Structure 1
């Protein structure tokens, strides 16, 4: 195996991000999937050379333990974002550490152009 051209982060937040990316790859491959993340496989493939076989196997095992809960959480967030944007909420901020390409999963309305003006009404689930 050749060395990667750029060092691959293999500790800390990178481990969380890769674990979740593995979950997304697994869910995307299912015929009855709850969501599809077409870029997750590319992220996983790019990271794989930075790991030895044993360490990668442990990461896959750990990701598998979080598969169901993480998959349901992704779908719940996607549904909430879709509901909020459908109700006119002009901005969504999702905080997290990872390789999430949620925007590519969601069929969101086109972004508004021009100046953004605050609205007085609140968005679903918000203040």
Structure 2
């Protein structure tokens, strides 16, 4: 694969990864607070108000998506996204495991998005060589 092909594919992966974070930050957290988001916050048992925590998390996701989209800070935001996805999957498994068997659950959504993170790393490293 040529350097240019690797960079093009990495760019497409970045766009898809950014889209996931921007969408999941905007739609179920900022624009329309999802009952599942509320359930996940309340399941931790920390007494946090989901109407505050979820929009803040949504804002952070949108910012992370934009940083990934524009390639700011190199691959660090991609690493942060990957770690966040693993952490969220573990959080759901511990606090709301019943969500793991629902449609469009964190297993079926987070694992493909984690693959995007891996592809970005591999493709961008390949292009640097």
TM-score in terms of structure 2 length: 0.30
Higher helix share: 2
Of structures 1 and 2, the one with the larger relative CO (CA 8 A, separation 6+) is 2
